[in-house]
A and B are shown apart, each in its own frame.
Chain A
Amino acid sequence: MLDFFTIFSKGGLVLWCFQGVRGPAAAATAPVNALIRSVILQERGGNNSFTHEALTLKYKLDNQFELVFVVGFQKILTLTYVDKLIDDVHKEFRDKYRNEFQQKGTLGLLNGTFDFKDDFMRLLRDAEESSKVRAPTVMKTFEQSLKSQKTVKCMIETRGEKPKEKVKNKKNKGSKKEGTEAVAAPGKASAGDKQLSTAGDREELTKDEILQKNREEFFKRHMKAGEKSNKSPKPEAQKEKGKKPRVWDLGNSNAKVLDYSNSATNGSAEACPVEEFDPDTALGDRNREPGRLYDLEYESNDETEEEKVIQNPSKPSAKKGGLGGMFGMLKGLVGSKSLTREDMDPVLEKMKDHLIAKNVAAEIAVQLCESVAKKLEGKVMGTFTTVTSTVKQALQEALVQILQPQRRVDVLRDVMDAQRHHRPYVVTFCGVNGVGKSTNLAKISFWLIENGFSVLIAACDTFRAGAVEQLRTHTRRLNTLHPPESHGGRTMVQLYEKGYGKDAAGIAMEAISYARNQGFDVVLVDTAGRMQDNAPLMTALAKLIAVNAPDLVLFVGEALVGNEAVDQLVKFNKALADHSMAQTPRLIDGIVLTKFDTIDDKVGAAISMTYITSKPIVFVGTGQTYCDLRSLNAKAVVAALMKA
């Protein structure tokens, strides 16, 4: 039922491949490449399954010998034995070819022939059979169920008779179990009855007697109801006479009843039963000195000691352990120890808290730590390395990997391309309220002008008061800084606005055609800030982007944001994807991280944003003047993040 099973080294060589149900050999390559690119390389390794078109892929990493095991099967099937199969294959393959891996290294991988087919078929057969062995559970027959053991009588409820009935039930069941096997269903009641008579119970209520009892009770109840109904018209009649003050029940009684201060009437000492006072249970420790106040149990010492033991096996534990400890320490130093989950867990916990303290979103910190744990499990540590340092190193590499852009980040190059095709390069800025869209738009236009491109600013924020005036002020300032005379008589920046209250998508379209006619190189479209939960506004934004097809959609996010970043980006992307008519919808292409000067080293927002979208951070805003525009330096950000 499997489509394929491949085993390949992390360096890229396929060691062994099994083609299952269908397909040429090449069919395995593309899904596996997709798996590698989207899961392993983007540090989403916490969950070990991945869906690609019609296939579900499950994988396992062997970090000791640098191998990857991948199995693929149809998405619609739910095979329960796959996880176990991967584990078994992993163990068997590793044990069988241990020598090649350890001794010969890469050449061993290249030259070795891995004839694993027979073993694999055997394991596959075992796994399939073990999943089949559990036959579907057979339904219990009626005789076996508990319901058949209840008599009809016990199912009739009579008030006041219940306890006796229950006693009778138990007696019935007990007698039943002692006695006969399966008895035919209709004969149940009669058999029960017979058994009752044979058992010789005290009181038997025949049906007639039950009916009689019921009738009596009914009359009693009816009488009561009658009295009640008699009562109810009386107060109504009283009420009809005139409006009377409401009479409370307790209000009539005298205040003495309500006076609990005097213990004589209510809450008297005699009324309360005297509790059995056991001094042992109350006071606990028999050995305590009377009158002394003990300190809190101070536990942090133990914790740090534990950590130290894990971190530096060479330290106190060696001295305590004596000879055995010495050998253990030496072994730990020499480093043929492989990392287990238990070793890594405390360190990863600490790293996770550290990341969260640095403003990384909580779910992302958790996923990152999971992924790093998966990558390190089973890895053999080098000499003189501690668990902490290995984990820190791995986490640092993972963070740098996330911050590296997956696509080119060169706006000027793309603008030049668009220039050659005689069309303007359109950039759209979107984001929530107050993140700095207009400010950073002005900064980016300043940078573009410095590089000799003419810019048209489209004021598509038709909602916020003063948005158009703000952009007009920026335009005036930029024109003062770069007057047309110094650029060959060309106005480098111009504002295209249509006032307030109009449709943003329409203004954007007009601005782009105006730019094309006038020969502007870049169009920067400023949109209104909107909350990600505001459905109509998100629809409007999606429409603007879908209709105008900008070259670059930039999401502007501030570096101060914490867990909100995840929510914002997910919802923005979802809105853009939902409302687009195209096959491949235009999503967010890049991120502008603003207000970077307000955070010292709590730079976690950068990680959260790039992790969620896997799109690069194109610009970083570090202030409110035109020169405060930077590009991201991944190493510096990660260094600030990992700094204690």
Chain B
Amino acid sequence: AMAGGLEPHLEALRRELRAPDPAVLSVLLALLAVAITLLIWRFVQGRRSSRQAVLLLGLCDAGKTLLFARLLTGKYRDTQTSITDSSAVYRVSNDKSANVTLIDLPGHESLRLQFLERFKAAARAIVFVVDSVAFQREVKDVAEFLYQVLVDSTVLKNAPALLIACNKQDVTMAKSAKLIQHQLEKELNTLRVTRSAAPTSLDGSATGGPPQLGKKGKDFDFSQLPMKVEFVECSARGSKGEEGDADFEGLEKWLAKIA
């Protein structure tokens, strides 16, 4: 039946081919070539843009670069404040051939948004590293950065999995993940009110203000977000100091789940 449907079309095509009008033929061929190229192009693009990256975000001195080094090599390295991003392919420890690209972004205030802009489209997952020792002091800054990440339009659209890694647990004064979660929720609750009330931007681009985070009327909760959020405790330096291994099984398991 299919062949029967195609026959008259094939006949028409053969007639066209036999017709001594090269112009129409060449136009048809050109169009066909263009169509095939476009299809291949979109296919390739689609493959490439399957989001492969895991972003390491956080404030300055949270421990992102050390975490990056530990995940990739397992060794301890001295670090300084990062000025640019570093990226490398990370192989998950199981035998799954899955691998993700780990991207370590600088945390400095003047750079963080620029780099986030650059890499947010490729993010499959985001690891937000928090300094558990200095958290009490920095809670407002942590919350502000987290808020900026969460209301970003691309992030809301793609909804990458979010892991909040409470780093520096080897220090005795470190806060627990539960406490950090609780404090962040309270802080984000306040922030969404103050941020939406801020004076509008110069060119009035934010029409109607930034998007609403979570549900209106109810207190903010991480479960209200469109993406999966988890909290995990880890220590990049490790309890045995620089010689030993890092303490981040939770992080590694989560990465294995994501890949």
Contacts and interface: CB of A to CB of B under 8 A. Distances in A.
Q: Do A and B come from one complex?
A: yes
Interface of A: 6, 8-14, 17, 25, 29, 32-33, 36-37, 40-42, 66, 68, 105-107, 109-111, 397, 400-402, 404-408, 410, 412-413, 416, 447, 450-451, 596, 619-620, 622, 629-633, 636-637
B94 interface: no
A7 to B, nearest CB: 10
Contact of B78 (A10, A25, A66): A25
Given A10-B82, A10-B83, A37-B81, A401 B200 contact: no
Contact of B202 (A107, A109, A447, A636): A636
A400 B144 contact: no
B86 A12 contact: yes
Given A11-B86, A107-B88, A400-B114, A33 B73 contact: no
14 contacts: A8-B80, A14-B77, A32-B80, A107-B88, A110-B75, A111-B73, A404-B111, A406-B109, A406-B110, A410-B191, A410-B195, A416-B190, A596-B202, A631-B200
Given A11-B82, A402-B110, A413-B190, A631 B201 contact: yes
B21 interface: no
Given A33-B80, A416-B194, A451-B197, A12 B65 contact: yes
Contacts of B84: 10-11, 66
Contacts of B146: none
A596 to B, nearest CB: 8
B203 A631 contact: no
A630 B110 contact: no
A633 B109 contact: no
Contacts of A41: 83, 108, 110-111
Given A107-B72, A405-B109, A407-B109, A630 B80 contact: no
Given A40-B83, A619-B199, A632-B201, 8 more contacts: A8-B78, A106-B88, A404-B109, A408-B144, A412-B197, A413-B194, A622-B202, A631-B201
Interface in B73-113: 73, 75, 77-88, 104, 106, 108-111, 113
A637 B205 CA distance: 13
A110 B194 contact: no
Residue of B69, B86, B108, B203 with highest tally of chain A CB at under 10 A: B86
B179 interface: no
Given A630-B199, A631-B201, A633-B202, A410 B86 contact: no
Nearest to B194: A412
State the main secondary structure of chain B at its contact with A.
Answer: mixed
Interface string B165-202: 00000000000000000000000001101110111111
A181 to B, nearest CB: 64
Contact of B80 (A29, A406, A629, A636): A29
B51 interface: no
A622 B199 CA distance: 12
Contact of A110 (B69, B85, B144): B69
Contacts of B77: 13-14, 110
A339 to B, nearest CB: 17
Contacts of A402: 110
A455 to B, nearest CB: 15
B86 A14 contact: no
Contacts of A17: 78
B117 to A, nearest CB: 9
B141 interface: yes
Chain B: interface size category: 35 or more
Given A10-B84, A110-B88, A407-B109, A630 B200 contact: yes
A617 to B, nearest CB: 10
Contacts of B199: 447, 619, 629-631
Contacts of A110: 69, 72-73, 75, 77, 88
B153 to A, nearest CB: 14
Nearest to B77: A13
Nearest to B65: A12
Contacts of A14: 77-80
**When A and B form their complex, which 7 residue pairs have the shortest distance between CB atoms, in order from nearest?**
A11-B86, A12-B82, A14-B78, A412-B194, A12-B65, A633-B201, A404-B110
A622 B200 CA distance: 12
B203 A633 contact: yes
B102 to A, nearest CB: 9
A408 B201 contact: no
Given A10-B82, A33-B80, A33-B81, A410 B194 contact: yes
Contacts of B86: 9, 11-13, 106, 109
A12 B79 contact: yes
A32 B82 CA distance: 11
A632 B193 CA distance: 19
A37 B141 CA distance: 17
Given A12-B65, A36-B81, A41-B108, A105 B88 contact: yes
A447 B72 CA distance: 50
Nearest to A631: B199
Interface in B126-144: 140-141, 144
Nearest to B84: A10
Given A406-B110, A412-B194, A412-B197, A106 B87 contact: yes
Nearest to A43: B110
Nearest to B187: A413
B109 A630 contact: no
B202 A13 contact: no
Contacts of A450: 197
Contacts of A13: 65, 69, 77-79, 86
A408 B148 CA distance: 12
Nearest to B82: A12
A541 B52 CA distance: 56
Nearest to A34: B81
Given A66-B84, A110-B77, A11 B104 contact: yes
Contacts of A629: 199
A426 B76 CA distance: 47
B81 to A, nearest CB: 5
A631 B194 CA distance: 13
Contacts of A416: 190, 194
A639 to B, nearest CB: 9
Contact of A631 (B109, B140, B202): B202
Interface string B51-75: 0000000000000010001001101
Residue of A10, A406, A407 with highest tally of chain B CB at under 10 A: A10
Residue of B106, B144, B197, B198 with highest tally of chain A CB at under 10 A: B198
B80 A36 contact: yes
Nearest to A40: B83
B123 to A, nearest CB: 18
